[in-house]
A and B are shown apart, each in its own frame.
Chain A
Amino acid sequence: MSSNPDKVVFNGVSKSFGKKGEDLLVLEDINLNIAEGELVCLLGPSGCGKSTLLNIAGGFEAPTTGSVRVDGEPVLRPDPRRVFVFQEYGIFPWASVWDNIVLGIRHLSRERQHEIAQETIDLVGLSGFERSYPMELSGGMKQRVEVARALAVSPDVLYMDEPFGALDSLTRLTMRSELIRIWQDRHPTILFVTHDVDEAIQLAERVVVFSARPGRIEEIIDVDLPHPRDLGAPEYGQVKNRLYERLGVSHRI
């Protein structure tokens, strides 16, 4: 648990969608405090509303009841200080890697844009691909562009909605360790949605486990392992067992 002040605070957040005349409750009474600079994973089965919660935090959807506050201010709309990294590729296919990355810093001076873009491109390992178009890149590289575009605006908070879900398992592992490296370097607050138990344990300081619909917080589990994490360590296995237990699935197949 971090001793930093609260950054993102969910207060009694519920969300229901009207469907065929009846209300479908997808999130029920979510109360959660995320500390500044913390990396928290929201883990749960598909359809448990964790992505909806992230969309509410990002200001793309309004909660039915309750509120989300960032730095004490209620979230009403998207804000460039808090950037969303999308599940599907949200980068623009009509723009080069460079033009995608400067999207959020287009109001800065040319020199400043150049400086920041080059820095983030180097940070995510895309040097040499500045002039390429997304269609010429692999899935992993597209996701790097997405991350670089987010980092270019130096956001306080990153909302990541299963950002590595579409990648192959080896690329996913690389992307996770890259994310940890970037997080340790810049220390933004990160809310990371996943349904992958291993991903949650590899990344998070805390894992918030959601129940199936309607999504409720089942338990919050601290992952007290230093980075880089040893995936074969007994402590890793213990956390994993506990998470599987909470999710109500057997880990023996």
Chain B
Amino acid sequence: MSAAWIALVLAAAGLAFGLRLSRRIQEWVLPAALAVALVALWDLACRFTGSVIFPTPHQTWLASLELIESQRLWGDIVASLFRVTWGFFLAAGVGIPLGLVIGWSTRTFRAMNPIIQGLRPISPIAWIPISILWFGIGDGAGIFLIFLSSFFPITVGTTAAVRNIPLVYQRSALNFGVRGLALFRCVVLPAALPQIITSLRIALGVAWLVIVAAEMVGMDSGLGYLINDARNAGSRYDLVVATMIMIGLIGIVLDFLIRRLERFDEVRWGYVQR
């Protein structure tokens, strides 16, 4: 890319910002224009500094193609997703029921909340040595770390969701004779569900952050390991950046998938402004 070409791209991006476009088109055109402008600036910075080690956008693009063609990338993506999926679902399976109980029973809340609040600030990364000690290098340690990093947001979020249920819902349930398990099924769970889904979304985001770090330190496969490997095996920073972009794209897809949960009629009420 020549400097003139880049100036043209930047001008086009600026123009797109000024144009009168419908909301829907703006939501696509504006971020795309900004992304193109940022890539142009990246390219400009590489030329300006004359760096030989930091990859240009073009080199990164070629590295991405190299990754896609090699069989290795898919294996690493599957390895990362496998650990995240298992760790996340285990955390949801334990964290949601536990959060419901802690949120509902004041006595349980008093007993468990201080301990949960004490464990929660410990970064999952700090658990890496112990997870390797217990599970060795491999999927077990990764799943355990993802479990830890998802468990706290899910449990704390579910607890808060139950404790925030407006009194008026409990009262109308009691007035109509809904109690015991039916109260849980008909009122507590549905009333808390929108906030539970939000906590799942946060947890999945954290899980995707943590798995990369964990794979860089204590695993021998996955996208995090791929980054480390590319750097160690001949300073292939083009592969490093290409993998980073891949991680970002998969993160967007994961968030998009979990946001589908917010669309159901039973929870949609929780996300509109009231």
Contact = CB atoms under 8 A, between A and B. Distances in A.
A214 interface: no
B169 interface: yes
Interface string A89-107: 1111111100000011000
A83 B2 CA distance: 76
A166 interface: no
| Prevailing SS type, chain B contact patch | helix
A90 B171 contact: yes
Contacts of A86: 168, 171-172
Interface in B185-226: 186-187, 190-191, 193
A93 to B, nearest CB: 4
B178 interface: yes
A57 B175 CA distance: 12
Contact of B193 (A77, A90, A94): A94
B238 to A, nearest CB: 50
B268 A90 contact: no
Given A133-B269, A134-B269, A135-B272, A92 B171 contact: no
A12 interface: no
Contact of A84 (B166, B172, B178, B193): B172
B269 A83 contact: no
Interface string A130-159: 000111000000000000010001000000
B175 A78 contact: yes
Contacts of A149: 176
Nearest to B186: A103
A60 B166 CA distance: 14
A83 B272 CA distance: 29
B190 A94 contact: yes
A84 B177 CA distance: 12
Q: How large is the interface on B (under 10, 10 to 19, 20 to 34, 35 or more residues)?
A: 20 to 34
Q: How large is the interface on A (under 10, 10 to 19, 20 to 34, 35 or more residues)?
A: 20 to 34
Contact of A95 (B166, B168, B190, B272): B190
Contacts of B178: 103
A80 B176 contact: yes
| Prevailing SS type, chain A contact patch | loop
B268 A83 contact: no
B66 interface: no
Given A94-B267, A94-B269, A88 B190 contact: no
B174 interface: yes
Contacts of B267: 94
Given A92-B190, A94-B191, A133-B265, A80 B168 contact: no
A131 to B, nearest CB: 9
A90 B166 CA distance: 9
A58 interface: yes
Contacts of B166: 88
Nearest to B266: A94
B41 to A, nearest CB: 44
Contacts of B186: 103
A80 B269 contact: no
Nearest to A132: B265
Interface of A: 58, 60, 77-80, 83-84, 86, 88-96, 103-104, 133-135, 149, 153
Given A58-B175, A90-B168, A103-B176, 11 more contacts: A78-B175, A79-B177, A83-B175, A86-B172, A88-B168, A92-B190, A93-B269, A94-B190, A94-B191, A94-B269, A135-B268
* Nearest 4 A/B pairs, CB to CB: A93-B269, A104-B176, A90-B172, A94-B190
